[in-house]
Chain A
Amino acid sequence: MRVVIAEDLFLLREGLVRLLSAHGFEIVAAVASAPELLKALLDERPDVGIVDVRLPPTHTDDGLRAALQARRQIPGLPVLVLSQYVEQLYARELLADQAGGVGYLLKDRVFNDEAFTAAIRSVAAGGTVLDPEVVQKLMVRHSRTEPVTRLTPREHDVLALMAEGRSNAAIAQRLFITEKAVSKHAAGIFAKLDLALSDDDNRRVLAVLAYLES
């Protein structure tokens, strides 16, 4: 799997390169600034770009903006955004084009290399992965709003884990239920949120979006 990495801190960039190489990813470019990132994404068209939000030249949200611009030019280009902090505002912007293939994680999720590489693969496959911290905020915010109030507590849990980008198997394992039960809950969620039937990954993204837009 071909990966572009954008991280301005040398130690972290080298750490990411080492970690991902060790897990069999092919690093096609490891850059340190937003213009370089944009160029690498457009030239290399990687399977996934791993992007730090804060990059030179302005050291604000240049990385995020470069990623969004690349996705405008190549719709659906998978991008996993890493940050020292997570903002619902940024999650919303990443999901706005509804093209999937988006991840938004705290940097410390890198510690758990298995979960991290799973997230990269999920994003590369067009899935949506949101950090549990973002998901938690969403849950608090939307616990009182329609149409989410119609969900049962169990469906809530399932939706939260889906938003984190977990597969049905992972959700089943986490909630100590069978995979079949997860599928049933998922069907219930999609019905209650008035989501049309389509391929599963896309419906997951739409479910998350329904959350964000409600």
Chain B
Amino acid sequence: MLFAIVLLLTIGCIALVLAREARRVPRPDGLRGRIRDRGRGLLLLPVAMAAAVMAGGAHELIPAELGLAALAIGFAPKLAAKLVPYGVLGLAVFGVHLAKEYNDGFTSGVQYLFVHAVSRGGAELVLAEAGVLFVVGLWLLVRLDSPGAGLVRALAARWLGSGRGGISGTQALLLIPVVGLTMQLLGPGDWFGWQAVDGLDVAVMDLTAVAAALVLIFRSRAWAATLAEAGLLVLGAYGWVIAVFWPAVPGFAYGFSDLHNSPTPAPLWTVALEGSVLLAAGLWLAPRVMRHHLTDLPDPELAARARQLTQRVQTLTQTRHDAVDTAAAELRRIERDLHDGAQARLVALGMSLQAAQRLFPTNPEAALALVAEAKESSSLALTELRDLVRGIYPPVLADRGLADAIRALALDTPLPAELDLDLPREVELPVASAVYFSVAEALANVTKHACARAVRIQLSYSSGMLRAQITDDGTGGADPALGTGLAGVERRLATFDGILAVSSPPGGPTIVVIEVPCALSSPKTSSY
């Protein structure tokens, strides 16, 4: 019953901590912060209770330990929270000790968390639980920022980051001792049903294995290192298994420790030590080998770059599509304007002149009237051509560049315009054209819709960004989603990665901002 409560408390507290970490709420100061620290400290209760229960039989300890934990939680919540990981790690160490005790013939029943062990049979489960507790303890250590968390973090980062570069020859050569140790552990025992009879057989087998290892090392350094790494980890772990379970596990000799001569061979702590060394070597080699095998997997930086490029390609595809569409529509409009306008006028002009030519001998006055008509036609044709040219490429932009073209635009606007044009050098023509027409559209909107009394046009360039801003004191409420004018401007600017932003609260003022990344060309030289 008591244990069930401990269990529930533990699970509840861990769930609480996990949920909070998952949400990653920034730690607030004041009351909430204190409650949070106390919540983490509460984890100390189940730890204390588990420890008390493990102490076995001494039930009078339970209230004392719980009381201490409660005191810590109440008066030093932060300290209590920081103690939790050490409590858990302590329980893990105790678990390893307990497993060894059982192995050595200890028979009392002990409740180790979920396992009630009474004999050697329970040792494995206790050991497994201890392993889990180790992991949880380390995780809590880092998470709760207990003393030593920095060290663990630094070691982990170093371990994970240490695998840069290829596999060296030394690393691959580790396969030789691994093979040697394996042969030694297996001993001259049963080899796939073949009984070794004397030292010569053993030597032949050992030499064969080492030769195979050498071949592998020369053929594939990476795979030799991989095999060595796996061998080091397995052998190291097996060292600990021997240290805890001997003589229940098989083994002939383990490094410097002779096993086969006695049921309690050379002190088992030397085996554990050797196992630890092998494990450490395995852990040292692991990230390097893994890095080597994982180099085909995308580097996170490269992956991010690839995502960016993919997005860029999508944007470019879209804007190119829009640009081609716009250009085609523009050509279509120009063709129609020419066809219905200037071309038609010139045809009419030719016909008038033709008729005048015919009428001259008989009716000179009528002929003169036709010539006057022809003159009118040519004048109209010129006017239409002029308007068309303005729409394609404003002459003043070609003559004077963007700043003067905008100045000319402002002069043609029927509103008083305040100008603040600061362009150190000239903008490339395509960009200048796009910005010119954008400003023209914005000004046309101000004139048509804003009921404004004045307008302010700013043009500036800084760190690769051309920026135009049109501000009016009108009624506001402009929505770029309505109407096609500003949408067309947006498409036009998008070709150059430019953007259009409109701020137009009801009641005004309306601010239109155009930004286009571009380079400036050399200043216009003037010789006159």
| A111 beta carbon closer than 8 Å to chain B | yes
Chain A nearest CB from B444 CB (Å) reads: 13
Residue of A nearest to B396 (CB): A87
CA–CA, A153 to B479, complex, Å? Answer: 38
Cβ of B382: which chain A residues have Cβ within 8 Å of it? 84, 106-108
| A50 beta carbon closer than 8 Å to chain B | no
Residue pair B528, A88 in contact (C-beta under 8 Å): no
Which of A141-149, A157-165, A177-185 lies at the binding interface? A141-149
Cβ of B396: which chain A residues have Cβ within 8 Å of it? 85, 87, 89-90
Chain B nearest CB from A94 CB (Å) reads: 14
User: Could you say which of B379, B390, B411 contacts A89, with CB atoms under 8 Å apart?
Assistant: B411
Residue of B nearest to A92 (CB): B411
Residue pair A143, B528 in contact (C-beta under 8 Å): no
Residue pair B411, A85 in contact (C-beta under 8 Å): no
Chain A nearest CB from B82 CB (Å) reads: 75
A34-B528, A38-B528, A65-B528 given; A60·B408 CB < 8 A: no
| B57 beta carbon closer than 8 Å to chain A | no
| A54 beta carbon closer than 8 Å to chain B | yes
| B414 beta carbon closer than 8 Å to chain A | yes
Residue pair A89, B404 in contact (C-beta under 8 Å): yes
Residue pair A88, B414 in contact (C-beta under 8 Å): no
Cβ of B143: which chain A residues have Cβ within 8 Å of it? none
| A207 beta carbon closer than 8 Å to chain B | no
Residue of A nearest to B381 (CB): A108
CA–CA, A141 to B412, complex, Å? Answer: 7
CA–CA, A142 to B407, complex, Å? Answer: 16
Residue pair A65, B408 in contact (C-beta under 8 Å): no
Q: How large is the interface on B (under 10, 10 to 19, 20 to 34, 35 or more residues)?
A: 20 to 34
Cβ of A145: which chain B residues have Cβ within 8 Å of it? 416
From 358 to 407 in chain B, residues with beta carbon under 8 angstroms from any chain A beta carbon are: 375, 378-379, 382-383, 386, 389-390, 395-396, 398-400, 404, 407
CA–CA, A50 to B389, complex, Å? Answer: 24
User: Could you say which of A38, A53, A90, A144 contacts B414, with CB atoms under 8 Å apart?
Assistant: A144
User: Could you say which of B395, B399, B412 contacts A137, with CB atoms under 8 Å apart?
Assistant: B412
| A62 beta carbon closer than 8 Å to chain B | yes
Residue pair B412, A108 in contact (C-beta under 8 Å): no
CA–CA, A196 to B486, complex, Å? Answer: 48
CA–CA, A208 to B378, complex, Å? Answer: 30
Most buried by A among B383, B399, B414: B399
| B526 beta carbon closer than 8 Å to chain A | yes
CA–CA, A144 to B413, complex, Å? Answer: 12
| A140 beta carbon closer than 8 Å to chain B | yes
State the main secondary structure of chain B at its contact with A: helix
Mask for B324-353, Cβ within 8 A of A = 1, else 0? 000000000000000000000000000000
Cβ of B527: which chain A residues have Cβ within 8 Å of it? 35
From 16 to 46 in chain A, residues with beta carbon under 8 angstroms from any chain B beta carbon are: 34-35, 38
CA–CA, A144 to B416, complex, Å? Answer: 9
Chain B nearest CB from A173 CB (Å) reads: 19
Chain B nearest CB from A162 CB (Å) reads: 20
Residue of B nearest to A139 (CB): B414
User: Could you say which of B404, B407, B413 contacts A141, with CB atoms under 8 Å apart?
Assistant: B413
Residue pair A88, B400 in contact (C-beta under 8 Å): no
Residue pair B414, A143 in contact (C-beta under 8 Å): yes
A61-B399, A62-B528, A108-B379 given; A141·B390 CB < 8 A: no
Query: Count the A residues whose beta carbon is within 8 Å of the partner chain — how many?
Result: 29
Cβ of B528: which chain A residues have Cβ within 8 Å of it? 34, 38, 62, 65-66, 68-69
Chain B nearest CB from A147 CB (Å) reads: 14
Residue pair A111, B375 in contact (C-beta under 8 Å): yes
Chain A nearest CB from B394 CB (Å) reads: 9
Residue pair A65, B386 in contact (C-beta under 8 Å): no
Chain B nearest CB from A77 CB (Å) reads: 14
Cβ of A60: which chain B residues have Cβ within 8 Å of it? 398-400
Chain B nearest CB from A131 CB (Å) reads: 12
Chain A nearest CB from B503 CB (Å) reads: 26
CA–CA, A34 to B413, complex, Å? Answer: 31
Chain B nearest CB from A202 CB (Å) reads: 24
Residue pair B399, A88 in contact (C-beta under 8 Å): no
A54-B399, A84-B395 given; A65·B526 CB < 8 A: yes
Residue of A nearest to B413 (CB): A141
User: Could you say which of B379, B386, B400 contacts A61, with CB atoms under 8 Å apart?
Assistant: B400
Cβ of B398: which chain A residues have Cβ within 8 Å of it? 60
Mask for B135-178, Cβ within 8 A of A = 1, else 0? 00000000000000000000000000000000000000000000
From 54 to 110 in chain A, residues with beta carbon under 8 angstroms from any chain B beta carbon are: 54, 60-62, 65-66, 68-69, 84-85, 87-90, 92, 106-108
Chain A nearest CB from B515 CB (Å) reads: 25
Residue pair B386, A84 in contact (C-beta under 8 Å): yes
Chain B nearest CB from A96 CB (Å) reads: 14
Chain A nearest CB from B375 CB (Å) reads: 5
Residue pair B375, A89 in contact (C-beta under 8 Å): no
CA–CA, A140 to B407, complex, Å? Answer: 17
CA–CA, A180 to B491, complex, Å? Answer: 58
Chain A nearest CB from B221 CB (Å) reads: 68
Q: List 8 A-B contacts (CB under 8 A).
A: A61-B399, A62-B528, A65-B528, A85-B389, A85-B396, A88-B408, A89-B404, A140-B414
**9 pairs of A and B residues whose beta carbons are closest in the complex:** A65-B528, A61-B399, A88-B411, A60-B399, A89-B408, A108-B382, A66-B528, A140-B414, A69-B528
Q: Which B residues form the contact surface with A (CB < 8 A)?
A: 375, 378-379, 382-383, 386, 389-390, 395-396, 398-400, 404, 407-408, 411-416, 526-528
User: Given A38-B528, A60-B400, 15 more contacts at CB 8 Å?
Assistant: A60-B398, A60-B399, A61-B400, A66-B528, A84-B386, A84-B389, A84-B395, A85-B396, A87-B408, A88-B412, A89-B400, A92-B411, A106-B386, A111-B378, A137-B412
